[in-house]
Amino acid sequence: MILIGERINGSFKDIAAAIRERNKAPIQEWARRQTEAGADYLDVNLGAVSKSADDFRWLIQTVCEAVPTPISVDYNKLDLMKAGLEAYKEFGGGRPVIINSTTAEDSKLVPLVELAVQYNAGLIGVVMDERGSPQDVDRRVELGAKIFAVASEAGLTPDRIYLDPIVMPLKFMQEQAKNVLEAIRQFAMISDPPPHISIGLSNICSKAKERSLINRTFLVMAMAAGCDTAICNVCDTELMNAVATAELILNKEIYSDDYLKAYRKRS
Amino acid sequence: MPLAIPDVKKTWTNAINTVTLGATKDEGGTRTKKVTVGGATALPFHHFEGKMPYPPAIAMEVWDVAPQDWPEVLAEHFRDVWHDPGLWAKKCVEQYGADLICLRLAGCDPVRQNRGPQEAAQAVKHVLESVGVPLIIWGTGNDDKDNEIFPAVAEAASGENCLLGTITEDNYKTLVALCTAYKHKVIAESPCDVNIAKQVNILATDMGFKPEDIVIYPTSAALGYGLEYVYSVMERARLAALRGDKMLSQPMICDIGIEVWGVKEAKASEQELPEWGAQRERGPLWEATTAYVYLLAGADILVLRHPQAVASVRQAIKQLMGDGLT
């Protein structure tokens, strides 16, 4: 399972304040905490705090200085994404990188695939387009197949393509969770070997009361369907324990009595 | 139209740890030679898929006391030296080209001479003075006895960067602490069980011991005596390691001589079993064949006894490493 730590995001108040004040400490603390918790990548997102390339560059530098963990560069505008990747190239010293994210819309998909090729990056493709987010399985799979085709055509191998079926809040769109799981199953059949299948987990529990329980139940079910990547709260110990156990049940990790300790030491 | 042959090459995400044994004068030891094993990025000898930077190493077995029960076809090669572990080790290195010496403290075993920590430490020192290759020091397998002798043994070999063993799921704290204090590597033993192999490594690293300082001993069995079970455990561990399991990414050691020379296919003379042919050929062949199989399963260090088996296995390693072929 590839776990991407979600916490360095300008939509969190402490990160927003740190970006505004150019205060490295809280950001680096989250970089360390998520790395220690077992994050394979750290998502780094300016959020709505700033539209400045300088700020994004500073944010990426700040994270790179603190930990050797690779980054998923997260922004929804092309020019800033480019600035972010350029900064990461400078400060990340050749670590792997994931671009988070493109949609299936041609005006985004084509240039972002080009960036992924240019920066030797993985690319998360979210299955929505100019018509918005799909409400059924078929549309999700159709857009997933389109993203996969365009990315493959440009030379991205399946291990660099991450399809995201768009997880929606259980509390408000309850019927969508089942559709997402079915879309994951079908994404897994798009190619052999299949692309990565990535979810933004925390959407599932938005505004709910039992957030942690909903998160870990859904993630385990998604893993059983074929999901192998999640942007999530890696500091949720119970979530990490559930992932470690699901990896055993799926026979992806070898059992040992202290497998929870082994899972934390895995990287 | 010629049929296109699909490319079935595997790509792996993780490498086996490299482990270097022995320390030279500059490094605080007295070894004149060091041995590095591990580092593979693909299955054994799959040179087309990844790198295998270090060939498997051959350790020859030396005891601290003269063995009483070795068959004549084996004993005849060592009888002149086995009263003195230093001379014995020297013969293995100079005459038979051993990469490493595996000193088995058999004399400390309560069922044999039950020798004490000081005698064990003396044997270790004597072998260290007699040869320049790195040392593997193997205890008795009796937990209480091992915990009694290893403090003196580890100290006697301090700074020499030896490989000491074994630790098990039920007895690991003393030896792990000693290997940390005296800077040795450790052999982690599990009873033909990949889950326990992983567990022992987790227990040792939980004490702060570095996973890179561990060598896995998945137990060994002679050809015809459950070798295939060990093979599949080793294969499973190696596949998991190459896919990224850091708690199984250690090189593996196989203790072959002791197993093979305990089974009748190697031990029985032609007087006892005339239809099985000459023991002088059969015994070493049984040992070498067992070793070949473990090489293919991923063995990084092989502990052997018979000089002829050593020579054949060395030749096999050379060929499998592709020397002179590509």
Q: Mention every residue, 6+ apart, whose C-beta is less than 8 A from residue A205.
A: A169, A170, A171, A211, A212, A214, A215, A218
pLDDT in tens, A108-157: 999 999 999 999 999 999 999 999 999 999 999 999 999 999 999 999 99
Tell me the chain A residues in contact with residue B9 when contact means C-beta distances shorter than 8 Å: none
pLDDT value, residue B7: 79
Find, in chain A, the residue whose alpha carbon is nearest to that of B193.
Answer: A256
- For B36, the token pair is 């590095």
pLDDT value, residue A215: 98
Quick one: pLDDT band at residue B325, thresholds 50, 70, 90?
Answer: very low
Cα A263–Cα A264–Cα A265 angle in degrees, nearest 5: 90
- Rounded Cα gap, residues A150 and B265, in angstroms: 63
- Evaluate whether residue A118 is within a structural domain: yes
| Local structure of residue A46 (DSSP, 8 states) | -
Q: Mention every residue, 6+ apart, whose C-beta is less than 8 A from residue B315.
A: none
Quick one: pLDDT band at residue B323, thresholds 50, 70, 90?
Answer: low
Residues of B with CB under 8 A from a CB of A: 194-196, 198-199, 202-203, 205-206, 211, 236-237, 240, 244-248
Q: What percentage of residues in chain B have a pLDDT greater than 70? A: 98
Chain B touched by A253 (CB under 8 Å): yes
Query: What range defines the domain where residue A103 resides?
Result: 96-264
Q: How many domains does chain A have?
A: 1
Tell me the chain B residues in contact with residue A255 when contact means C-beta distances shorter than 8 Å: 195, 198
pLDDT in tens, B4-41: 887 788 889 999 999 999 999 999 999 999 999 999 99
**Mean pLDDT for the stretch of residues A56-70:** 97
Q: Choosing among B7, B169, B194, B202, which should be mutated to test the A contact, i.e. which has the most A CBs within 10 A?
A: B202
**Mean pLDDT for the stretch of residues A15-26:** 97
- Evaluate whether residue A211 is within a structural domain: yes
pLDDT in tens, B232-242: 999 999 999 99
Task: Give chain B's domains with CATH numbers.
Answer: 33-320 (3.20.20.20)
Q: Is the pLDDT assigned to residue B1 strictly greater than 70?
A: no
- Evaluate whether residue A41 is within a structural domain: no
Global ipTM:
0.81
pLDDT value, residue B3: 78
- Rounded Cα gap, residues B164 and B101, in angstroms: 12
Q: Is the pLDDT assigned to residue B326 strictly greater than 50?
A: no
Cα B55–Cα B138–Cα B36 angle in degrees, nearest 5: 20
- Evaluate whether residue A22 is within a structural domain: no
Q: Is the pLDDT assigned to residue A202 strictly greater than 90?
A: yes
What single-letter amino acid sits at A98?
Answer: I
Taking residue A90's Cβ as centre, other Cβ atoms within 10 Å add up to 12
Chain B touched by A267 (CB under 8 Å): yes
Of A255, A259, A261, the CB nearest to B206: A261
**Mean pLDDT for the stretch of residues A228-241:** 97
Report the Cα B46 to chain-centroid distance in Å: 22
End-to-end CA distance of chain A: 12
pLDDT value, residue B4: 81
Q: What is the mean pLDDT of chain A?
A: 96
Tell me the chain A residues in contact with residue B212 when contact means C-beta distances shorter than 8 Å: none
Quick one: pLDDT band at residue A106, thresholds 50, 70, 90?
Answer: very high
Taking residue B94's Cβ as centre, other Cβ atoms within 10 Å add up to 10
Q: Are A143 and A128 in contact (CB under 8 A)?
A: yes
Of B198, B244, B246, the CB nearest to A256: B198
pLDDT in tens, A71-81: 999 999 999 99
Place of tokens 């798009």: A190
pLDDT in tens, B186-215: 999 999 999 999 999 999 999 999 999 999
Of A256, A257, A266, the CB nearest to B244: A266
- Evaluate whether residue A219 is within a structural domain: yes
Nearest to A121 by CA among A98, A87, A149, A92: A98
**Mean pLDDT for the stretch of residues A206-231:** 97
* Three-state SS annotation for B91-135: HHHHCCCCCEEEEECHHHCCCCCCCCHHHHHHHHHHHHHHCCCCE
- Evaluate whether residue A71 is within a structural domain: no
What single-letter amino acid sits at B107?
Answer: G
- Rounded Cα gap, residues B68 and B71, in angstroms: 9
Interchain pair A255, B205: CB under 8 A? no
- Rounded Cα gap, residues A57 and B55, in angstroms: 46
What CATH number does the domain containing A185 carry? 3.20.20.20
Nearest to B63 by CA among B50, B79, B51: B79
Q: What's the whole-model pTM score? A: 0.89
